[in-house]
Amino acid sequence: MRCRNLAVLGAFWFLAASSLATAQIQVTAQTQRTNYLLYERVDVMVTIQNRGDTDLVLNNNEGHPWLSFLVNQRRQQNHLPIRQERNSEYQSLTLKMGESKTLDINITPLFSFREEGNYDAAVVIDLPGQGQVVSESVPFTVLKGHQIWSQSRPVDGSQRLYSLLRFSPQPDSTKLYLRVEGPTENIVYANLALGEIAAYVDPGIQFDPQGNLHILHPIALGTYLYTRIDPDGKILHQNIFKTFHEIAPRLVKVEDGNVAVTGGLEEDPNTPRERLSDAQGVKQASQHPAASVR
């Protein structure tokens, strides 16, 4: 009888603590869209509101993160918990009475989704001495996309696998994605969208002697996006080329092995419009000034 009473008291204390924590804060989670490419970053926007009558400080002083996630994979009627693969520790957060703050957190490095499927994620806020607050789950789907090109190349003593994929993050748009992997080390160096791609038209692809990857792909009728990427998958430069005098731009290799864009007309925002005609001809793609593009 004594054990039963202790169990009842423990359950009552847990419910009371949870109710107290819920009265102190409100937490919601949402994602920017529903569909994500496999290995793409999944950003969860976490909104926390202090509904108590005192200022609130959320920190890791209790020896564990004040913010964490519960992620499940939905298979028919079952919800299978996904094990967190990396520890997470977030900076402390102070909320004044009535104040709300929103955090944008990429959960892909924490859980490393390795297969397509339907998932849901919930946010857990730990309030020291008051219990936990768990948000409602937000659903999202991880898909493989359609691979249109792949090539393996040696980089720094190991092999890198470069792939281009078509993927539709929204029903009305299809984007070209680049993925750079180290299969032996089980590392994904990059998995990023390069821009819209016109349907059923494959991109031009070339490597230069420095190991940079050059891609030229159509984004609309007569309009092409050029992208130069370093061996780790970082975008160094992007620019628009348009068909000029009915000649579409294309990638070529010049005598020294570097990559150039020939034909078409380059849209350079740093060049006055009236002088754009001077840009026609062969452009040394590997000589364009670097620019950080996300």
Q: What is the pLDDT of residues 242-273, one digit of tens each?
A: 999 999 999 999 988 999 999 999 987 554 43
Q: What percent of the chain has pLDDT over 90?
A: 65
Residue where the block lists tokens 């857990």: 124
In a domain, 6, yes or no: no
Question: What is the per-residue pLDDT for 294?
Answer: 27
Claim to verify: residue 207 and residue 242 sit in the same structural domain: yes
Which residues sit opposite 282 in a β-bridge? Answer: 262
Helices (H), 55-213: 108-111
Where is mean pLDDT largest: 25-34, 58-67, 269-278? 25-34
The C-alpha atoms of residue 233 and residue 115 are separated, in whole angstroms, by: 22
Is the separation of the CB atoms in 138 and 120 below 8 Å?
yes
In a domain, 18, yes or no: no
Which one, of 272, 268, 293, lies nearest residue 283 by Cα? 268
Domain boundary among 93, 124, 142: 142
Question: What is the per-residue pLDDT for 267?
Answer: 86
CA distances from 37 to 85, 108, 132, 176 (A): 19, 11, 32, 11
Claim to verify: residue 137 and residue 241 sit in the same structural domain: no
Q: 3-state DSSP call for residue 62?
A: coil
CATH code at 256?
2.40.128
Which one, of 245, 250, 191, lies nearest residue 218 by Cα? 250
Q: 3-state DSSP call for residue 30?
A: strand
Question: What is the per-residue pLDDT for 253?
Answer: 93
Domain count, the chain: 2
Q: 3-state DSSP call for residue 122?
A: strand
Claim to verify: residue 136 and residue 152 sit in the same structural domain: no
- Which run of H or E residues covers position 225? strand 223-229
Claim to verify: residue 217 and residue 252 sit in the same structural domain: yes
Torsion of CA 196, 202, 204, 209, to 10 degrees: 100
- Which run of H or E residues covers position 236? strand 235-242
Q: Is the pLDDT of residue 88 over 90?
A: no
Q: What percent of the chain has pLDDT over 70?
A: 83
Q: How far apart are the first and last CA of the chain?
A: 64
The C-alpha atoms of residue 223 and residue 267 are separated, in whole angstroms, by: 10
Question: What is the per-residue pLDDT for 64?
Answer: 79
Is the separation of the CB atoms in 32 and 43 below 8 Å?
yes
Six-digit token string for 190: 């990059």
pLDDT band of residue 24 (cuts 50, 70, 90) is confident
Q: 3-state DSSP call for residue 110?
A: helix
The C-alpha atoms of residue 287 and residue 87 are separated, in whole angstroms, by: 41
pLDDT band of residue 169 (cuts 50, 70, 90) is very high
Q: Is the pLDDT of residue 5 over 80?
A: no
Six-digit token string for 254: 């010049």
Q: Is the pLDDT of residue 23 over 80?
A: no
Q: pLDDT (tens digit, 9 = 90+) per residue, 105-123? A: 999 999 988 899 999 999 9
Domain of 87? 24-142
